[in-house]
Amino acid sequence: MIAGIDLQVVTNSVDNAFALMNSPLPGVTILGGKLYKKDHYLASSDALEQIKKLR
């Protein structure tokens, strides 16, 4: 539903990032960290600090 909308998505979900790769918009930032393969997400204390800086 958000394909083609001019916004920036920030996620730690590998699946969400992959789903948004087929369209130039929205932009996607994926937070880094350890990959939890079973649950398809990345996590780290650095990622939490990045989230705190978002508005």
2-55: pLDDT as tens digits: 989 999 999 999 999 999 999 999 999 999 999 999 999 999 999 989 989 987
Name the β-bridge partners of 30: 11
- Taken as a whole, the chain contains a residue count of 55
Q: How far apart are CA 11 and CA 47, in angstroms?
A: 10
The answer to whether the pTM exceeds 0.75 is yes
What phi and psi values does residue 5 have, to the nearest 5 degrees?
-90, 135
